[in-house]
């Protein structure tokens, strides 16, 4: 699969201090999650891809274009939703989004038409003639999304898109991000400190720690490959059942007279447990089934990096 973003030994320094340190990775997913603690280098990486910072060494490519020599062409293919507000408060929303479309290269008439379309798409159609200074936080976030998509970019970079939103507004923002992802009209790079948001929307994750890559995973493959943890409540003799599942390469531990914990290998599914239990005269009364969450993956990356 052709990479969307390639980092080739990319390094950035501020005041002699390394902020990004020899990042080397190819990102290919429809929706890529960028994770890391505060100060990990996430925003610096985004700004570097947008051409705001010049690499001290190495380079990066977006859709095969080098950020050092083709920054203008790259920016024309990117929509950027920044974390911080960057509005002209007394400008109406539709005129703001039109201005951003024009700055992205659209002719004035087409920019106005696309501005109306983008605002109706994000749910601001009825409020598009109101001044931005009168908008709530949730409405401002939607306006930022509208200006990021108005020119039809191939890559949309979202920096903390749900920051400060209440639950209904956050759910709406995540729904819009998934719609864009599933439309296949644009790829997404989503930077967030909210692991649930990334898990909801992204297929691939890049985790940074102190300017270095702590982990890079195909999230869907990671979920499938993770060991499967099961806790079961039983009735009957557990010994023969435990011996049978151990013989199939699983790990088991009897935690009480009626409870067991199991770690299944890749070839064993939950339905197989019921067959083994039946063969060994054991009744499974309840079962808790869990795979590693993105939080588990993130914490492991923080511990090992």
As a whole number of angstroms, the distance between CA 201 and CA 210 comes to 25
Beta bridge partners of 233: 259, 286
- For the beta sheet containing 251-254, the strands, ordered from the edge strand earlier in sequence to the opposite edge, are 251-254, 259-264, 228-235, 283-290
What whole-number distance in Å separates Cα of residue 58 and Cα of residue 37? Answer: 24
**Residue 175, number of CB atoms within 10 A of its CB:** 12
Structurally, at CATH architecture level, domain 226-295 sits in 2-Layer Sandwich (3.30)
User: Measured between alpha carbons, how far is 300 from 288 in angstroms, rounded to an integer?
Assistant: 22
CA 175, 177, 178, 183 dihedral sign is positive
For residue 10, report the phi and psi dihedrals to the nearest 5 degrees.
-70, 125
Window from 8-22, 133-147, 261-275, 286-300 with minimum mean pLDDT: 286-300
**Residue 294 pLDDT > 80, yes or no?**
no
Query: What would the two tokens of residue 261 be?
Result: 């914990």
Model confidence pLDDT, tens digit, residues 2-35: 889 999 999 999 988 999 999 999 999 899 999 9
Q: What CATH number is given for 5-220 in this structure?
A: 3.40.50.300
Who's near 156: CB < 8 A, 6+ residues apart? 78, 79, 80, 81, 148, 149, 180, 186, 187, 188, 189
Residue 123 φ/ψ, nearest 5 degrees: 100, 15
What average pLDDT does the chain have?
Answer: 90
First to last CA, the chain: 27
The domain segmentation of the chain, as residue ranges, is: 5-220, 226-295
Alpha carbon distance 159, 23 (integer Å)? 19
Per residue in 232-276, pLDDT (tens digit) is 899 988 889 989 888 888 888 888 888 888 888 778 888 888 999
């Amino acid at each position: 699969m052709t990479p969307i973003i390639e980092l080739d030994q990319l390094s950035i320094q501020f005041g002699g201090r390394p902020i990004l340190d020899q990042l080397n990775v190819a990102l290919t997913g429809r929706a890529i999650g960028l994770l890391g603690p505060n100060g990990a280098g996430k925003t610096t990486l985004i700004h570097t891809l947008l051409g705001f910072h010049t690499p001290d060494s190495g380079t990066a490519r977006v859709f095969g274009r080098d950020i050092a020599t083709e920054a203008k062409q790259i920016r024309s293919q990117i929509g950027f939703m920044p974390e911080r507000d960057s509005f002209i408060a007394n400008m109406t929303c539709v005129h703001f989004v039109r201005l951003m479309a024009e700055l992205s290269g659209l002719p004035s008439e087409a920019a106005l038409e696309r501005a109306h379309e983008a605002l109706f798409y994000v749910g601001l159609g009825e409020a598009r003639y109101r001044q931005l200074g009168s908008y709530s936080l949730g409405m401002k976030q939607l306006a930022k999304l509208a200006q990021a998509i108005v020119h039809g970019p191939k890559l949309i970079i979202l920096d903390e898109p749900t920051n400060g939103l209440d639950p209904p507004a956050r759910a709406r923002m995540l729904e819009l991000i998934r719609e864009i992802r599933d439309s296949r009209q644009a790829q997404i790079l989503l930077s967030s400190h909210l692991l649930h948001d990334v898990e909801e929307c992204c297929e691939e994750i890049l985790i940074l720690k102190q300017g270095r890559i702590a982990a890079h995973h195909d999230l869907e493959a990671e979920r499938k490959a993770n060991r499967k943890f099961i806790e079961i409540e039983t009735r009957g003799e557990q010994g023969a059942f435990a011996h049978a599942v151990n013989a199939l390469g699983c790990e088991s531990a009897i935690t009480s007279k009626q409870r067991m914990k199991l770690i299944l290998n890749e070839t064993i599914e939950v339905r197989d447990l019921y067959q083994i239990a039946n063969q060994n005269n054991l009744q499974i009364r309840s079962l808790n089934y869990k795979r590693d969450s993105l939080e588990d993956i993130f914490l492991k990356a923080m511990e090992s990096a």
